[in-house]
Amino acid sequence: MFVIKNTVTGKQHLEPSRRSWQGTEYKTKGSAKAGITRTLKYYANAIAHVEQTVANGLPAYHSKWYDTYREATDPNAFRTDRTHINDPETYEVMSVEDYGNPTVTVTGKRPYDGKEITVTLDINHVGVPHLDPRMESYWSM
């Protein structure tokens, strides 16, 4: 099994056009490389559509791909871990064994009482609402 690693953040990459329940693992190295190609084409289509919308005399936000365009071009648009997503050098294909289970230790406050906590999380779970104890939805489930 293979995964696509984002070399900027160290996280596993989930294709934007892939259903979330399909996961981030691929059976072959070739299928993972195809996933990178699909990702790059997805963002290229978004950029082209917004540019065509602007060329037609409409504001960029009239494009149905506007949010995806901003995600690919504006580093401050959404989440900070989505930078460089339109660059092929950002992605690396590696086996699941080589990727391992990287962890990171983060410090923050619990939302319900403000107590300072330090937790060690899987790098792919940092900021995920139901998996990060620093998020309110973790405690409300």
CB 39 within 8 A of CB 13: yes
78 backbone dihedrals φ, ψ, rounded to 5°? -130, -105
**What single letter denotes the amino acid at residue 69?**
Y
Q: Confidence band (pLDDT; 50, 70, 90) for 34?
A: very high
62 neighbors 50 (Cβ within 8 angstroms): no
Query: Mean pLDDT over residues 101-129, rounded?
Result: 84
pLDDT digits (tens, 9 = 90+) for 65-75: 998 888 888 77
Fill in the DSSP letter of residue 85: T
Residue 84, pLDDT > 70, answer no
On average, the pLDDT of the chain sits at: 85
Helix/strand/coil for 122: strand
Mean pLDDT of 93-98: 92
Q: Residue 17: what residue type?
A: S
